Structure 1
Amino acid sequence: MKTSQEELLPATRRALLHRIAVAQAEGRAPSLAAAVVRGGQTVWYGSRTSVDGHAPDENVQYRIGSITKTFTAVLVLRLRDEGVLDLGDPLEKHLPGTGAGEATIAELLAHTGGLAAESPAPWWERTPGSLRPELADVLGELPLRHPVGRRHHYSNPGYTLLGALVEELRGAPWEEVLRREVLEPLGMRRTSGDPRAPHAGGWAVHPWADVMLPEPAEDLGRMAPAGQLWSTTGDLARFAVFLAQGDERVLSADSVREMRTPAAPAEAADVMSGSAYGLGMQLQYRDGRLLVGHSGSLPGFLANLTVSVEDDLAAVVLVNCTSGPMPSAVAADLVRIVAEAEPRIPEPWRPLPDVDEGVLELAGQWYWGTQAFVLRLTVDGGVSLEPLSGVGRRARLRANGDGTWTGLDGYYAGELLKAVRRPDGSVSHLDLGSFVFTRQPYDEGAPVPGGVDPEGWRGIP
């Protein structure tokens, strides 16, 4: 992936540097490295360190903790796309005998499988993985904390199960599969399960004194699919581009869009904070924009990868301390700084190369009952249906190639839109998931459910 430090204006670059400098100083972090991605390339990189003359560059590894889960989710989605499994399959179908097999694969991906947040003691992040050689050691005697599928409860053991699922179906170790199917195709040569020089050391900073203590860097063993990986700002910038656009060598754009779609029931606190969880990805509304990605932490390290697809921006923040700066807040601010200072310049408008006259005939105003909508043709060959008032259900729909369209998001996701024609070929109405849209409010010439009063519209009687 190309790197260009000249893509942003000097004032923007200074604002970005100021933000990470404040985070490193106030958060008392031994070092902090960050990058901003736009247009498929790194457009800014910065770092701050407490060791003079040794600022980390884009190739210095940090441990990325739970960002690892997003990589594991990619491997599972690949299996789904190949037809090896279905996300609705119970785990027991493919990985029997775990004691947690009632949960579906989708529920494990979305942390709704009812599993405990952590493995049984001792604290798995700070002890050797050799203490938990089997899945039973990870799950314990009572793996469930909640009814399966009822609530979002973040679970590290759940992703251990998904890693074991990958190993079972691929017949190879999780990290080997990850390298072959994701890291190598995306050019992520500095991402690995074990630290490789140059890499940062992990530190604990005393809460009440400016002194530090080295943290152990344990091999997590069976828990590796939940948090093992080490990576760099350069490699995670490449991964951010993939999570925004997809890559047919790994996952299609449709599949990564599915990962970015909320998949877990929201808790009251999630609704208040504007956060949700997809399939291996965290989602949050902040500063008026949807941010997707994942955070990570292990003793000695904090990490965050944040993507704003709408702004064509992403940010990576890596820190080598157990607690201190909040990388998710810093990354969100880096995206906001660039989005506000240098808004994305849209592509030039271009007319469609060709158009089906039968589809063009459908464009324009329609009514669902008395609410006005407009149907537009989109450049990708689909259509959109939007309320003219700006308030109400809206939909983007893809063409199916047979004169129908399927909803992509919102209330109409998966629902079918078709134009119903009269015997003479003229359009009677649109049918969208049984809802009738007519050219006039309650058009008496269309089969409006319940019929239309024959006396028509009137004033106050």
Structure 2
Amino acid sequence: MISSSLTESLLPTTERALLHSVAVAQSEGRTPSLSAAVAREGRVVWSAVLPSGEGPAPDPDPQYRIGSITKTFTAVLVMRLRDEGLLELGDPLEKHLPGTDLGEATIAQLLSHTAGLAAEPPGPWWERTPAALRPGLAEVLGDAPFKHPVGRRFHYSNPGYTVLGSLVEAVRGVDWAEAVQREILEPLGLERTGVRPRAPYAEGWAVHPFADVLLPEPVEDLGVMAPAGQLWSTARDLCRFAGFLAEGDDRVLCAASVREMATPAAPLENGEWDGTYGLGVQVARLYGRTMVGHTGSLPGYVAGLWVSPADGVAAVTLANATSGPQPWAVAAELVRTVAEAEPRMPAPWRPLPDVDPELLALTGSWYWGAKPHVLSLLPERGLLLAPVGGYGRGARLRAERDGTWTGLDGYYAGETLRVVRRADGSVRHLDLGSFVLTREPYEPDAGVPGDIDAAGWRGMP
């Protein structure tokens, strides 16, 4: 029995391909149920729930535990505190949460799992034991919280996000769960997301590896470790959250801060060239696309969320089995299916509303040494420097109030471009992070360092 709901029509062939992917995942993954949803341009356009056995159709949007996808919510809270000026990402944790014995580990390092902390707290398997065994951070961190030097490598850490949750509580002055509800869930309208399950929800199971039989998994409250994995949600709610991760929402976190979260911050291990970690989100290269999101698991549940910002497509897959299905792989496949079958329509070309003649005069050919580049005009007085031939250094540049431009990407990210003029006001050259760009290759009297040979260009004798 399959329950499916649509809020905006996709092509029938696309719907069939999506349904086939999740049906294969539910069947081959041997999971009692699997819920999936796809969003396009921030709107949920398809969802389906596949239960096992016969019987009435399930609720079209049941809750599941989402495990470590919770960490992304915690990271958003921390970034909000940064944007409000209440902390800096480079601050040592000790500045805002003293007494943890974590020394100079910074907030950014905790967000990116580079603080060197252990992957798990000491003691018994924390996901299947009562939270009372870990009443505070001392029990979560233990006597030897570090496994690696601070800042040297990526090492995924559940205790690290527990600490970040306590940081939110200390700085904000409210419980972590209250902050999530008030600052993220309510503004984004995530009505089926919370720290406790609300019916209808899927029960968690372990599936025997060699027989089609089930064992119920315990559902423990995570207590102080809630910021690392407590939340329950639905595929449709998480698709809306994925849209926020792609575009931002000023009610929660601006687009620039969301992009910062998705910027790789953790060093890669040898061989790990397709995935890295930002500030609370995973960044992966899947099916030739850059996808941002997170995976999650707790006993009885696995989850995957991916969004491709370039395609405007997000997908979420949730299952109620401890192991077997791979919802992160299925979610990536769903993104690819929609992006390839129904590619994003390009924004229509429109002329600029106005133009500064002096700015327009800067466009055209420029040379770094003998290497040709083209400078083009972008909206809001922005510039695009592109090397001719497709190789070399280029950048998008943002206009600043002082008449300079700041590089936004690539080698020139953060570097300043200045227009250098002669005494008569004509443009002598462009200075980009000390590099001189001239109208002609090694143009005489254009300020090229080292001077230009007076004999000029010549053949080989």
Say yes or no: TM over 0.5.
yes
Give the direction of change, closer, same or farther, for the CA distance of 1:87–1:201 in structure 2 (3 Å limit).
Answer: same
Residue 175 of structure 2 corresponds to 173
CA offset digits 1:83-125 (Å, max 9, x no partner): 0011110111111110113111111111100111111121111
Distance of 1:55 and 1:29 partners within structure 2: 17
Alignment of 1:175-194 (within 5 A): 175-194=177-196
Return the match for 2:237 from 235, 238, 244.
235
Q: What is the CA-CA distance between 1:54 and the residue it aligns to? A: 4.6
Give the secondary structure class of the aligned counterpart of 1:304.
strand
Residue 426 of structure 2 corresponds to 426
Give the direction of change, closer, same or farther, for the CA distance of 1:460–1:10 in structure 2 (3 Å limit).
Answer: same
Residue 458 of structure 1 corresponds to 458
Residue 78 of structure 1 corresponds to 80
Distance of 1:379 and 1:9 partners within structure 2: 34
Residue 120 of structure 1 corresponds to 122
Distance of 1:404 and 1:127 partners within structure 2: 58
Give the residue type in structure 1 aligned to 2:307.
Answer: V
Whether the aligned pair in 2 keeps the contact of 1:363 and 1:375 (CA below 8 Å) is yes
Q: What is the CA-CA distance between 1:449 and the residue it aligns to? A: 2.1
Say whether residues 1:32 and 2:6 are aligned partners. no
Give the residue type in structure 1 aligned to 2:392.
Answer: G
Give the secondary structure class of the aligned counterpart of 1:122.
coil
Residue 435 of structure 1 corresponds to 435
Distance of 2:340 and 2:188 partners within structure 1: 30
Return the match for 2:46 from 37, 44, 47.
44
Alignment of 1:297-336 (within 5 A): 297-336=297-336
Residue 9 of structure 2 corresponds to 7
Give the residue type in structure 2 aligned to 1:296.
Answer: G
Distance of 2:397 and 2:59 partners within structure 1: 44
Residue 283 of structure 2 corresponds to 283
Give the direction of change, closer, same or farther, for the CA distance of 1:126–1:394 in structure 2 (3 Å limit).
Answer: farther
Q: What is the CA-CA distance between 1:55 and the residue it aligns to? A: 4.6
CA offset digits 1:383-433 (Å, max 9, x no partner): 222222112233222221222121222222211122222222221222221
Whether the aligned pair in 2 keeps the contact of 1:36 and 1:335 (CA below 8 Å) is yes
Give the direction of change, closer, same or farther, for the CA distance of 1:326–1:351 in structure 2 (3 Å limit).
Answer: same
Q: Which 5+ residue runs of structure 1 have no aligned equivalent?
A: none
Q: Which 5+ residue runs of structure 2 have no aligned equivalent?
A: none
Whether the aligned pair in 2 keeps the contact of 1:115 and 1:153 (CA below 8 Å) is yes
Distance of 1:55 and 1:441 partners within structure 2: 71
Distance of 1:380 and 1:313 partners within structure 2: 27
Residue 67 of structure 1 corresponds to 69
Say whether residues 1:448 and 2:448 are aligned partners. yes
Distance of 1:33 and 1:361 partners within structure 2: 56
Q: In percent, how many aligned pairs have the same letter?
A: 67
Whether the aligned pair in 2 keeps the contact of 1:262 and 1:277 (CA below 8 Å) is yes
Residue 204 of structure 1 corresponds to 206
Distance of 1:58 and 1:358 partners within structure 2: 58
Distance of 2:426 and 2:178 partners within structure 1: 59
Considering only aligned residues, what root-mean-square deviation do their CA atoms show, in Å? Answer: 1.4
Whether the aligned pair in 2 keeps the contact of 1:58 and 1:234 (CA below 8 Å) is no
Residue 415 of structure 1 corresponds to 415
Distance of 2:139 and 2:406 partners within structure 1: 45
Q: What is the CA-CA distance between 1:132 and the residue it aligns to? A: 0.5
CA offset digits 1:153-176 (Å, max 9, x no partner): 111111111100000001111010
Q: What is the CA-CA distance between 1:11 and the residue it aligns to? A: 0.4
Distance of 1:365 and 1:314 partners within structure 2: 39
Give the direction of change, closer, same or farther, for the CA distance of 1:228–1:380 in structure 2 (3 Å limit).
Answer: farther
Give the secondary structure class of the aligned counterpart of 1:42.
strand
Give the direction of change, closer, same or farther, for the CA distance of 1:227–1:439 in structure 2 (3 Å limit).
Answer: same
Give the residue type in structure 1 aligned to 2:243.
Answer: V
Alignment of 1:79-158 (within 5 A): 79-158=81-160
Give the secondary structure class of the aligned counterpart of 2:67.
coil
